[in-house]
Chain A
């Protein structure tokens, strides 16, 4: 019980802080917009974290799920449909369907092959999006209006949009946390660590992984639909493989194995990107090396930073174990 409380303390604090922001009036609308975007990316990152950290499936095509959700909003917008009760289910279903079909093929492989194949399917979605000339092709499509919820323009208002995103983020985080602790999640986690053992007690891992892949896809679709609303614009760039790489980075930056880490990663990423791009024109010259350094040195991500700091403070230069291991 006590352990459960300490485990929940960090995410609870995070959500409370996010909830407080719009009522403190910090920095005005710009900060709210920025955090909204971070939370939307956080939703996608949590779903990816379920795949990578929970099921051990490293997908380099998760941006496709977001992109499909975003394009569902655009396609319905072009058809004059902006009712959220239609738009959101459609976005989720479209992304889930894509995940089902591509997942069924991808899960025949594992390891590096899985990474490459999800990347290839992501590219497929990207090229498809670029060919929708009725939705602007490469140039993208600007929405006429944000999605309405039961006819009310809830998402128009900056603060209520922020709160909706926060609520959804909390819901997705809670849902994914529950899933990881459930019977289903137990099979998924066991199969990540020792597939042979899982088979020997009578589980075939593939159906479990496929269901997880579809669920993560649907949540990715939700994030995409929200992102389309946030920017009121959809373009193939949101499906590009670099976006998939960024999502994967958010998850690792925050720390694998802790779902709220993905949210921390998203916040850190968006704020850093914003800050750096104000400082330098070619900000990726700084951002890229930071990313490399984070991978090389930040093994447990931001969420694991307290533990890492404790470990570093005890560190003595005994020359890298890694090196001596190959002798």
Chain B
């Protein structure tokens, strides 16, 4: 038998709460940076929008459709990123993002968990790319 997380662990109270009541969910009318990511395997999608002030993430919102893992992880990530320096965001590692979730995932589900992370990081990169030229 392979070691996997049990569903009660995977779908903890915290994750279900973030799924049903996502923090930082919504849109920013005039974002300074944004990125839309799709998982072509399952059709999950997420858009992350940033408002930047003084090199910091002043505001971050996300919207999208997907499984509990992708939605909860994006929500947790947004909470984590808000207020951080852009440089910290682009340096953030996958492991750091997964730590927020605090569960073990199979390779297929890792893609769900990292969808929002990918979007947020790309948005930050895009912003730095445009504004440092």
Do A and B actually bind?
Answer: no
Task: Report B's interface with A, CB cutoff 8 A.
Answer: none
